[in-house]
Amino acid sequence: MVRFSESRFHSITMSSHDLPASFTGTIDLGIIGGTGLYKLECLKPIAVLPAMPTPWGTTSSPITVSKVVGDADEHFHVAFIARHGLHHQFPPSKVPFRANVAALKHLKCKAVLSFSAVGSLQQHIKPRDFVLPQQIIDRTKGIRESSFFNDIGLVGHVAFGEPFSKAFAQYIHQFAHVIDNPEATDACELHFDADTTVVCMEGPQFSTRAESKMYRLLGGDVINMSVLPEAKLARECELPYQMVCMSTDYDAWRDEAAPVDVATVVGNLTNNGRNANALASAIITEMANKMPDFMLSGDGLKGSAKGGITTKPHALSTTHLEQLKFLFPEYW
Ligand SMILES: CSC[C@H]1O[C@H](OP(=O)(O)O)[C@H](O)[C@@H]1O
Ligand SMILES: Nc1ncnc2[nH]cnc12
């Protein structure tokens, strides 16, 4: 049996970047970068952990551990994973979501900030605007493993009525002014309210016009292929989670315009990447200055997964106990 003990992550070898391949300090924030976002300029890498094996497979990329540029104390650390791999080799249905989230939890991140390129389902959300969704509509097709607790012998149910961290979204929203679109007269906006909804489709093909119109009728504001199961898994790990959605296109609902294609998405990635860097820099610099309450307190999620596991403790197998220990050494 493969064992996932601490020691296998702590051997001192050097990575291909001449940075240590292990890290023994504390990690505060986990970041999952999406399409077009493979690193952040405000981070100064200090270690590159090779793609991490977990009980649910291996992460989609090495995990870059960084300090924050300009943080004199150098005490705040960030772990960064590229969702689709460093070469964008994992299509949305095949991203090892469980390994990615499990690794960030195992590293003891206190929250996860995720970035995603999305289509807009609303006229007022322009390409290049950013959105902090607070709700999700699931249009994936059941082919993604979406739980850590869904085996015969390990049953768990966690609340998901409010799938994102409102406190985290509010924290991010204070930096709305840093995003910008120099090529347009209309200001770039960071949209955020309690009902803002992201639709998660399976892909990899984009939606038909009929589907796109249906998502608008359902209340969708933006659409991507990545927020699920990522958000569910973060919740199962008791990790405060917020996705920053970066609009790249108007999807397919506008009859007068051509439906979305990759060229349209790519055309907006440069500006979105610049804004993601500006926003992340503002957020992380402030976090390093003073850790926000939702990270210190756990945002009301502490104990929720433990309480949600309904299988009797004496009935848990060694394998399931090992999996639980990987995520929650404090409980099991
Ligand atoms: C290249 S457009 C479709 C692709 O972009 C988004 O990826 P990510 O969320 O990782 O930025 C979307 O979810 C799709 O996977
Ligand atoms: N229109 C769209 N549909 C799904 N995922 C997307 N990512 C970026 N644009 C998208």
Atom of ligand 1 nearest to the CA of 115: 11
| Secondary structure string (H, E, C) spanning the chain | CCCCCHHHHCCCCECCCCCECCCCCCCCEEEEECCCCCCCCCEEEEEEECCCEECCEECCCCEEEEEECCCCCCCCCEEEEECCCCCCCCCHHHCCHHHHHHHHHHCCCCEEEEEEEEEECCCCCCCCCEECCCEEEEECCCCCCCCCCEECCEEECCCCCCCCCHHHHHHHHCCHHHCCCCCCCCCCCEECCCCCEEEEECCCCCCCHHHHHHHHHHCCCEEECCHHHHHHHHHHCCCCEEEEEEEEECCCCCCCCCCCCHHHHHHCHHHHHHHHHHHHHHHHHHHHHCCCHHHHHCCCCCCHHHHHECCCHHHCCHHHHHHHHHHCCCCC
Instruction: Say what the pLDDT of residue 16 is.
Output: 56
Instruction: Say what the pLDDT of residue 49 is.
Output: 98
Quick: pLDDT tens for 195-205.
999 999 999 99
pLDDT average, residue stretch 272-292: 96
Tokens of 127: 């390409």
Rounded CA-CA distance 29/167 in Å is 15
**Which residue is closest in CA terms to ligand 2's atom 2?**
119
Instruction: Say what the pLDDT of residue 156 is.
Output: 97
Instruction: Say what the pLDDT of residue 73 is.
Output: 81
Instruction: Say what the pLDDT of residue 124 is.
Output: 97
Q: Do residues 239 and 109 make contact, with C-beta atoms less than 8 angstroms apart?
A: yes
The reply, when asked if residue 116 is annotated as ligand binding, is yes
Tell me which residue has tokens 């119109």. 213
Instruction: Say what the pLDDT of residue 7 is.
Output: 34
Q: What is the ipTM of this complex?
A: 0.99
pLDDT average, residue stretch 246-275: 97
pLDDT average, residue stretch 240-249: 98
Tokens of 231: 């958000």
Domain boundaries, the chain: 114-327
Tokens of 305: 């997964």
- Kindly report the number of other CB atoms within 10 A of residue 5's CB atom: 10
pTM equals 0.95
What residues contact residue 89 under an 8 Å CB cut-off, 6+ apart?
none
Quick: pLDDT tens for 21-69.
999 999 999 999 999 899 999 999 999 999 999 999 999 999 999 999 9
Instruction: Say what the pLDDT of residue 1 is.
Output: 33
Rounded CA-CA distance 76/128 in Å is 30
Residue 71 has pLDDT above 90, yes or no: no
Q: Which of 136, 228, 249 to mutate to test the pocket of ligand 2 (most atoms within 8 A of CB)?
A: 249
pLDDT tier at 2, thresholds 50, 70, 90 = very low
Residue 216 has pLDDT above 50, yes or no: yes
Instruction: Say what the pLDDT of residue 12 is.
Output: 46
Q: What percent of the chain has pLDDT over 70?
A: 95
> What is the topology classification, in CATH, of domain 114-327?
Rossmann fold (3.40.50)
Tokens of 109: 């991140």
Q: Which of 223, 243, 244 to mutate to test the pocket of ligand 2 (most atoms within 8 A of CB)?
A: 223
Rounded CA-CA distance 264/259 in Å is 9
Atom of ligand 1 nearest to the CA of 266: 1
Rounded CA-CA distance 252/14 in Å is 47
